[in-house]
Amino acid sequence: MIRLNKYLAENTSLSRRDADKAVADGRITVNGVPAEGPWVQVDSSSVVTLDGKRVGLEDYFYWAFYKPVQILTAYGDGHGKDTLEVFPMLAEKKPAYSGRLDYESEGLIIFSNDGDFIRKLQKSEEKIQKEYIVSVSRQLTQEQIDILKKGITYEGIDYLPCIVTKQDEKRYRVILHEGKKRQIRNMFRHFHIQVRRLKRVRVGRINLDGMKPGEMRVLTQKDLEGMI
């Protein structure tokens, strides 16, 4: 634990004197509450903000990962199937993730040790877009596309309205605001259409950005803007 003004001096461009003034001016919060004074004790688990922006992001890591097909989005025993632990960085840290993809799907998964950030990505009420490229066994009719845009119920599960854009005869761009288990496969199965390939290409403003299967990149402050 260290004093708040020292924490600010180490993690921002403020001097300790400037940090004291920022606290006095009400510009600093700790865990969502205005800081009482520069003497408040904080550590790396504390959520400290300056003018509404989190301080000390270096205490957290935020990764974009391109999950290949035939990898379970899980740690531990895959019962004969490869899991995330075939990738050394994930095996070592076992970070939380948002955006589970099934075994035969590929694409973007976000990893972080920032639990608040991961939970935010998982909440449908946050309305964070998830974008997919989907190849299917046969094309949708315009009527079926319109039905998906209004939302459907399949096997007792409600799926919210989504954006569906035709790319070519059997390939679609689908944008969701939620992420229920096997959602896209079930939405197409509702019309007796099989998904041949499913690739998540974007979550919010974060995209694959030319990544290849199995690659990981560290997310920048720009990537995370408006998401933290």
Report domain extents, the chain: 2-59, 62-124+209-224, 129-203
102 is catalytic: yes
What architecture (CATH level 2) is domain 2-59?
Roll (3.10)
CA 119 to chain centre: 9
Dist. CA 65–CA 110, nearest whole Å: 6
Question: What confidence tier does 58 reach under pLDDT thresholds 50, 70, 90?
Answer: low
Question: What confidence tier does 57 reach under pLDDT thresholds 50, 70, 90?
Answer: low
- Please tell me the number of Cα atoms within 13 Å of 121 on its side-chain side: 24
Q: What is the pLDDT of residue 59?
A: 64
Q: Under 8 Å CB-to-CB from 105, ≥6 apart: which residues?
A: 67, 69, 198, 199, 200
Q: Which of 102, 158, 209, 223 is catalytic?
A: 102
Domains 62-124+209-224 and 129-203 agree in fold: yes
Residues recorded for the chain: 228
- For 159-212, the pLDDT digits (tens) are 999 999 999 999 999 999 998 999 999 999 999 999 999 999 999 999 998 999
Which CATH number applies to 129-203? 3.30.70.1560
CA 159 to chain centre: 19
What architecture (CATH level 2) is domain 62-124+209-224?
2-Layer Sandwich (3.30)
